Amino acid sequence: MRISELSERSGIAVATIKYYLREGLLPPGERTGPNQARYGDEHLRRLRLIRALIEVGGLPVATVGDVLEAVDTPDLPMFNLLGVVQGSLTAPAPSASDAEWERAHETVRAEMDRRSWSMTPAAPAIEALTAVLVRAAQLGYPDWGESALPAYFDGARIVAETDVATALAAGERDAIVDVVVVHTVLGDTALAAIRRIAQAQVSLETLAMGTEPST
Amino acid sequence: MRISELSERSGIAVATIKYYLREGLLPPGERTGPNQARYGDEHLRRLRLIRALIEVGGLPVATVGDVLEAVDTPDLPMFNLLGVVQGSLTAPAPSASDAEWERAHETVRAEMDRRSWSMTPAAPAIEALTAVLVRAAQLGYPDWGESALPAYFDGARIVAETDVATALAAGERDAIVDVVVVHTVLGDTALAAIRRIAQAQVSLETLAMGTEPST
């Protein structure tokens, strides 16, 4: 297809596609004339992925380049690929004393150890979680992490199993990364909303009825 | 205590406290002179709540006023109070056709009905969830909601039970709202991070080992 059709089918402006070509985010098409090239379905798929990373993931263009490089590395094991994508979507840590940080990190490590989960593939997310625990302590809730983590890990595991199954069902490498990015960002928002819905339901059961929440 | 001590204990600048007094977010202290007033623990608690709503919840001052009005309404049932606080933290919906919106809303309603959950106390969060499903459909994943919601609801329920138990354990009304606000925002970030940790673990089990994830 010509660049105009690529633009129409991807929903991305021609000028933007040309920018992505210049930046190397999109591989060149097959040259068919001095100012013409032909593009295939792989270009459409790549554009859709770029759009997901930038529009939904909010990634800067440079980071998009890193992620795409990982996508293009055939030897990179799949879970490392998912890790690269996920790592690029996790926020940096706030400032805190070493002692505060160590205490929070120990709480997270203890929960991971209790379940025999591997620390390495999830390093950026572990850092983000530790940052939240530090922030909670700074706001006056130093024990919140220890009391909340068991249930949070149980609930998140159930969600993650459906996430990974959905991502793997997509089958083809680009589509898997696409699904992971879209689902990570959309999934966060959905999970936050559903958590509020569930809190309202549990509150209703506990407070309005005067009984313990049903499990 | 004098306003200088109130400032020191709450971590909020005197000028900011005076602003909150002018805006009616903070009730006046007991007048002890032409330019002096005395404040009590209830003022400290109220300042802490305001700080949580603004700093952690990111609420604009006008919304903080609405939430505090609900806090000050003694007849308002607790779960409505939690609902007001939660509603103020949920994002608005994107633009979509009526058909797109109705389809997404039906998916959410079906899941709620399947569990006999009440739609009313969670109306803002249901709207937010519906918006995510609309967005997913627009990005090319029209069936994602239907396939993901069962696990998301199961996982969120487990998390919500610990959230509500923690909030109720705080005991006193201001503290409960404080806990709900802080935990809603921090909890979202924590849950998102833990979901990534769990995805990495499930991916590791599924892909690196070549076996089904253990439940």
Top-confidence residue, A159 or B92: A159
Is A214 domain-assigned?
no
pLDDT at B127: 86
- Using 70 as the pLDDT threshold, list the residues of chain B that sit under it: 55-58, 74-95, 171-182, 208-215
Domain match, B66 and B127 both: no
**CB–CB contacts below 8 A, A to B:** 274
| A180 inside domain | yes
Q: According to the model, what pLDDT value does residue B12 have?
A: 87
Higher pLDDT, B116 or A11: B116
| Domain boundary residue, one of A72, A104, A127 | A72
A-chain residues near B203 (CB < 8 A) = 78-79, 82-83, 121, 164
pLDDT of residue A103: 95
State the Cα angle at B169 between B163 and B173, rounded to 5°: 100
Whether residue A191 sits in one domain with residue A91: yes
Residue B168 pLDDT: 78
Asked if A93 reaches chain B (Cβ–Cβ under 8 Å), the answer is no
- Do the Cβ atoms of A197 and B129 come closer than 8 Å? yes
Give a yes or no: residue B77 inside a domain. no
Q: Nearest by CB to B155, which of A124, A158, A201?
A: A158
The more confident residue out of A193 and A106 is A106
Contact B133, B145 (CB under 8 A): yes
A208 vs B90: CB contact, 8 Å cut-off?
no
How confident is the model at residue B117, as a pLDDT? 94
* A179/B34 Cα distance (integer angstroms): 65
The answer to whether residues A101 and A52 belong to one domain is: no
Indicate if A62 and A145 belong to the same structural domain: no
Q: Which CATH number do you get for residue B49?
A: 1.10.1660.10
The pLDDT of residue B213: 45
The C-alpha torsion from B11 through B15 and B19 to B20, rounded to 10°, is 20
Please tell me whether residues A117 and A166 are part of one structural domain. yes
Q: Are residues A171 and A121 in the same domain?
A: yes
Residue A95 has a pLDDT of: 62
Q: What ipTM did this prediction achieve?
A: 0.71
User: Looking at residue A214, what is its pLDDT?
Assistant: 44
Q: Which of B72, B99, B131 is at the close of a domain?
A: B72
Kindly state whether residue A81 falls inside one of the protein's structural domains.
no
Are residues A93 and A161 both part of a single domain?
A: yes
Q: What angle do CA B126, B128, B133 make, to 5 degrees?
A: 95
Q: Which domain holds residue B18?
A: 3-72
Smallest CA–CA distance, residue A65 to chain B, in Å, is 21
- Note whether B110 and B184 are same-domain residues: yes
- Given a cut of 70, whether residue A13 has pLDDT beyond it is yes
One domain, residues A31 and A99: no
The verdict on B66 and B171 lying in the same domain is no
Minimum distance, in Å, between the CA of residue B119 and any CA atom of chain A: 8
pLDDT digits (tens, 9 = 90+) for A96-146: 788 989 999 999 999 999 999 988 877 888 888 998 888 788 777 889 999
| pLDDT-based confidence at residue A75 (cuts at 50, 70, 90) | low
pLDDT band at A49, cuts 50/70/90? confident
Tally the domains of chain B: 2
In B, residues 116-155, which contact A (CB 8 Å cutoff)?
117-118, 121-122, 124-126, 128-129, 132-133, 135-136, 139-141, 144-145, 147-155
- Nearest by CB to residue B166, choosing from A148, A184, A192, is A148
* Better-scored residue on pLDDT, B107 or A63: B107
> What gap in Å lies between CA B81 and CA B84, rounded to an integer?
5
pLDDT of residue B92: 46
Tell whether A97 and A61 lie within a shared domain. no
